[in-house]
C-alpha cells in the first residue's frame, strides 16, 4: 500500500488559564477538515465503498504477467490506497482534535478493519510480480507509458525480493496489521485520553492544571518550584503505570520482531533500514559520532549550572533558557509573518505557496480539551497537508510551527510534482525539510537580535536545539537499539531493566554536573516515538543534513535554492541517500554530524565569551 507520511514533533503549550472545549474554538480557526469530505455522510459513503473495490482488486490475481492487466491492477490499487488514505485521515484528524469524543473514536475504529482488508486484497501483487522472470519484471515500466512511473517501485521490489513471502502468506500477514498496531493504539489512547495529572498547588492557594502540553511550558519557567513540582507530578504519574507501559512497549517490539523474522531480516533494525537502502552503518555512525562529542554537552551543562546560579543542576533545570524572557510574544499572525521573513532564502514561490496554505485552513493551532499532545503534519495526496499544533504565542510555538510547515511544504511540493506512487518521501528524508525551516528561523533571529539578552537567548536556543534534536534523539536511538537487541536475545524487558538502562544513558550523555532525578526513570515511557521503531535517529540525521542545507541556502543563493526545491519535489522517486546527495549532503559519512557539532561548539564558545 502507498500511504502518506505522518510526522510528530515536540509539544507546544497554550497560555490560557483554562483549557477550552473543542466546540469553543471558532470553526475558521480550525483546520478545514471539510476539504477531505464535505460531511460525515460523504465520508461514510466513501468508507462503505472500499470493500467492493477490494473485491475487484482480488480479481486481478494470476493476471499480472500481462502489462495491460498489471497497469489496470496498479491503477485500482492506487485508487483504493488513496481512498483509504482520505477515509483514514478524516477520522484520524477528527479523533486527534478531540480524543475523548466517542463518535470520533467509533469513526476511527471503523476504518481500521478496512485497512486490513485493503492490505489483504493487495497482498498478492508483490509476491506475484516477483514470480516473474527478473528480465520480464524489469522491462514492465517500458512496456506501456502508464507503467513508467512504477520504475523505481519495481527496482525496489527486486532489491527486496528475498524478504517477500508467497502470496498466501503475505495475505495472512496483512490481516494482522491492526493487531500489530494494538499496543501503539492502546498507548496513544491511554496517554492522551485517560492519563490524568494532578493540579500543581500554588502559594496563594490556587492550582495550575497540568497536562503534557502545559508541562512543556512549565519546565521552561523561571519559577524553580513550578519546574520541580510539574516534573515530580508528571513523572510520578507515569511511574504509577510503569508495568503497564513496559507491557505495551514490549508488545510493540515483539510485533516488530514477528514481522522482521517472518520477512527474513536478520534483525529489526535491518527491517527498518533496508527497505529504503539505508546502510546500517549510518545508524551506528550517528551514535558513535555523537558519543565522541559528548564532552561538548558536558561543558554545556556545566555552563548552564553557572549561569542559572544553582548549587545543583537538576534535569528540571535543563530546559530553562539562560535569558528567561524576550519581553515579547508572537501572536499567531505575527508568528506566521516572522516565519515568512526567516524563510526568505527559499524564494518567493515557496513563501507564496506557504501563505496560501496558512490562509486555506491547513493548520489547527488552538489548544482544546482532549486535543492530541504535541504537533504533527499529515499530508493527503490530492487534497493538501494538515498541521496540528497548540500555539501559545511563545517563541517555541513559532519554532514548532516553522518545523511543521517544513513538513507540510515538503508534502505539498512532492504531491504536486510526483505521481502517487512516488509522492511519499521516506522517513529518513522527512525531518530534513522541517529542521531546515527551524534552522533558517534561528539564524534569522540571531542575525536580528536587538540586544545582548536576545543574543544570549537565541544562542541558548541554538544550543538547546542541537541538544534536544541531535544529542537527545541519538540517546533515544541508542536506547531503542539496545531494547530491541535485548528482545532479539530473549532478555526479558521489565520495568526495572528499562528504567536502569534509561538512567545509565542519561548519566553517560549528560555527564557529572547534572543530578539525574529519580523520577526521570519513568521518562522512557513518555516517548511516543518508541512505537515507531527506529524512527528517532532520523531526527539527528535530519538535523545534521538541515544544518548543511540551511548554510548553503543562506550563502549560495539561487543554485542552492534550486537544488533544495528540486529535493522537496522529488518525493520518494529515488533512495533517500541519493536524493540528499543531489541536494548536496552525503549522509553516508560523518561530515554532516561533525559540521553540526562544530556549530554547537561555536555557539558554546560565543556564549561563554559573552557571559564571562
* Averaged pLDDT of the chain: 92
**pLDDT tens-digit series, residues 415-445:** 999 999 999 999 889 889 999 999 999 999 9
Is 1 a residue whose pLDDT tops 70? no
Q: Which residue, among 350, 286, 267, has the nearest Cα to 538 in the 3D structure? A: 286
Q: Verify whether residue 523 is a known catalytic residue.
A: no
Dihedral (CA of 437, 8, 539, 163) sign: negative
CA distance 464 to 231: 19
Is 334 a residue whose pLDDT tops 50? yes
Could you name the CATH architecture of 6-187?
A: Up-down Bundle (1.20)
pLDDT, mean of residues 332-355: 97
Q: Which of 73-77, 106-110, 189-193, 535-539 has the lowest mean pLDDT?
A: 189-193
DSSP letter assigned to residue 311: S
Q: Is 449 helix (H, G, I), strand (E, B) or coil?
A: coil
88 CB burial (10 A radius; 0-12, 13-18, 19+): buried
pLDDT, mean of residues 540-562: 94
Residue in this structure with the C-alpha cell 500477514, named with its chain if needed: 173
Task: Please give the model's pTM, rounded to 2 decimal places.
Answer: 0.83
Is 411 a residue whose pLDDT tops 90? yes
pLDDT reported for residue 3: 39
Is 31 a residue whose pLDDT tops 90? yes
- In which element (H, E) is residue 208 found? strand 207-208
- E strands, 278-356, in order: none
pLDDT reported for residue 17: 54
CA distance 313 to 292: 23
Beta bridge partners of 515: 314
Is 286 a residue whose pLDDT tops 60? yes
Q: Which of 128, 367, 404, 499 is catalytic?
A: 404
In sequence order, the 6+-apart residues with CB closer than 8 A to the CB of 333 are none
Is 470 a residue whose pLDDT tops 80? yes
Q: 434 and 7 in contact (C-beta within 8 Å)?
A: yes
Residue 13 binned pLDDT confidence (cut-offs 50, 70, 90): very low
**pLDDT tens-digit series, residues 181-199:** 899 989 988 998 889 999 9
442 CB burial (10 A radius; 0-12, 13-18, 19+): buried
Is 9 a residue whose pLDDT tops 70? no
Q: Percentage of residues in the chain with pLDDT exceeding 70?
A: 97
CA distance 126 to 130: 6
CA distance 365 to 26: 11
Is 458 a residue whose pLDDT tops 60? yes
Is 8 a residue whose pLDDT tops 60? no
Q: 417 and 387 in contact (C-beta within 8 Å)?
A: no
CA distance 352 to 601: 36
pLDDT, mean of residues 172-188: 87
Is 337 a residue whose pLDDT tops 50? yes
44 vs 457: which has the higher pLDDT = 44
pLDDT reported for residue 434: 93
pLDDT reported for residue 45: 97
Domain chopping of the chain, boundaries: 6-187
Residue 14 binned pLDDT confidence (cut-offs 50, 70, 90): very low
Highest mean pLDDT (candidates 79-93, 106-120, 160-174, 315-329): 79-93
CA distance 574 to 153: 9
Is 520 a residue whose pLDDT tops 90? yes
Amino acid at each position: 500500500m502507498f500511504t502518506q507520511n505522518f510526522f510528530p514533533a515536540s509539544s507546544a503549550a497554550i497560555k490560557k488559564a483554562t483549557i477550552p472545549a473543542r466546540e469553543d474554538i471558532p470553526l475558521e480557526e480550525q483546520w478545514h477538515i471539510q476539504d477531505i469530505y464535505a460531511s460525515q455522510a460523504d465520508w461514510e459513503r466513501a468508507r462503505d465503498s472500499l470493500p467492493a473495490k477490494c473485491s475487484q482488486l482480488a480479481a486481478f490475481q494470476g493476471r499480472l504477467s500481462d502489462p495491460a492487466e498489471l497497469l489496470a491492477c496498479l491503477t485500482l490499487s492506487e485508487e483504493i490506497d488513496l481512498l483509504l488514505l482520505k477515509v483514514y485521515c478524516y477520522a484520524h484528524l477528527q479523533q486527534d482534535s478531540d480524543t475523548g469524543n466517542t463518535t470520533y473514536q467509533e469513526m476511527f475504529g471503523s476504518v481500521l478493519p478496512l485497512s486490513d482488508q485493503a492490505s489483504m486484497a493487495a497482498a498478492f501483487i508483490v509476491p506475484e510480480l516477483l514470480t516473474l522472470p527478473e528480465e520480464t519484471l524489469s522491462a514492465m515500466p517500458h512496456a506501456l507509458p502508464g507503467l513508467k512511473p512504477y520504475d523505481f517501485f519495481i527496482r525496489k521490489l527486486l532489491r527486496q525480493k528475498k524478504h517477500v513471502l508467497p502470496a498466501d502468506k503475505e495475505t495472512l500477514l496483512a490481516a494482522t496489521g491492526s493487531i500489530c498496531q494494538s499496543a501503539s493504539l492502546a498507548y496513544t489512547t491511554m496517554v492522551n485520553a485517560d492519563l490524568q495529572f494532578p493540579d500543581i498547588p500554588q502559594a496563594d492557594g490556587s492550582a495550575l492544571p497540568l497536562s503534557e502540553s502545559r508541562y512543556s511550558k512549565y519546565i521552561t519557567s523561571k519559577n524553580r518550584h513550578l519546574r520541580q513540582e510539574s516534573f515530580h507530578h508528571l513523572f510520578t504519574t507515569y511511574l504509577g503505570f510503569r508495568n503497564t507501559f513496559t507491557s505495551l512497549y514490549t508488545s510493540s517490539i515483539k510485533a516488530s520482531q514477528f514481522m522482521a523474522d517472518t520477512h527474513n531480516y536478520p534483525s529489526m533494525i535491518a527491517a527498518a533500514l533496508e527497505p529504503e537502502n539505508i546502510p546500517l552503518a549510518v545508524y551506528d555512525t550517528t551514535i558513535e559520532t555523537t558519543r565522541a562529542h559528548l564532552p561538548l554537552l558536558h561543558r554545556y551543562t556545566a555552563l548552564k549550572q553557572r549561569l542559572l546560579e544553582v548549587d545543583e543542576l537538576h534535569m528540571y533545570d535543563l530546559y530553562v533558557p539562560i535569558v528567561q524572557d524576550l519581553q515579547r510574544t508572537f501572536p499567531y499572525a505575527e508568528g506566521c509573518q516572522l516565519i515568512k521573513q526567516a524563510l526568505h532564502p527559499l524564494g518567493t514561490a515557496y513563501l507564496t505557496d506557504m501563505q496560501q496554505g496558512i490562509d486555506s485552513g491547513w493548520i489547527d493551532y488552538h489548544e482544546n480539551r482532549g486535543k492530541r499532545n504535541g504537533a504533527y503534519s499529515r499530508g493527503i495526496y490530492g487534497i493538501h497537508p494538515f498541521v496540528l499544533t497548540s500555539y501559545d504565542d511563545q517563541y517555541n510555538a513559532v519554532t514548532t510551527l516553522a518545523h511543521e510547515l517544513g513538513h507540510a511544504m515538503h508534502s505539498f511540493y512532492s504531491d504536486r510534482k510526483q505521481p502517487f506512487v512516488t509522492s511519499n518521501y521516506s522517513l529518513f528524508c522527512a525531518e530534513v525539510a522541517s529542521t531546515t525551516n527551524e534552522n533558517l528561523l534561528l539564524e534569522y533571529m540571531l542575525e536580528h537580535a536587538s540586544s545582548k539578552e536576545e543574543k544570549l537567548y537565541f544562542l541558548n536556543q541554538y544550543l538547546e536545539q542541537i541538544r534536544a534534536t541531535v544529542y537527545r534523539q541519538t540517546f533515544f536511538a541508542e536506547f531503542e537499539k539496545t531494547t530491541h537487541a535485548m528482545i532479539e536475545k530473549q532478555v526479558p524487558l521489565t520495568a526495572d531493566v528499562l528504567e536502569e538502562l534509561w538512567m545509565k544513558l542519561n548519566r553517560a550523555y549528560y555527564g557529572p554536573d547534572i543530578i539525574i532525578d529519580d523520577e526521570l526513570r519513568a521518562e522512557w515511557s513518555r516517548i511516543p516515538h518508541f512505537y515507531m521503531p527506529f524512527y528517532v535517529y532520523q531526527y539527528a540525521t535530519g538535523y545534521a543534513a538541515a544544518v548543511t542545507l540551511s548554510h548553503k541556502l543562506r550563502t549560495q543563493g539561487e543554485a542552492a535554492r534550486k537544488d533544495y526545491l528540486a529535493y522537496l519535489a522529488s518525493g520518494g522517486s529515488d533512495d533517500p541517500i541519493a536524493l540528499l546527495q543531489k541536494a548536496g549532503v552525503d549522509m553516508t559519512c560523518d561530515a554532516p554530524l561533525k559540521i553540526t557539532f562544530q556549530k554547537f561548539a561555536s555557539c558554546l564558545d560565543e556564549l561563554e565569551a559573552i557571559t564571562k
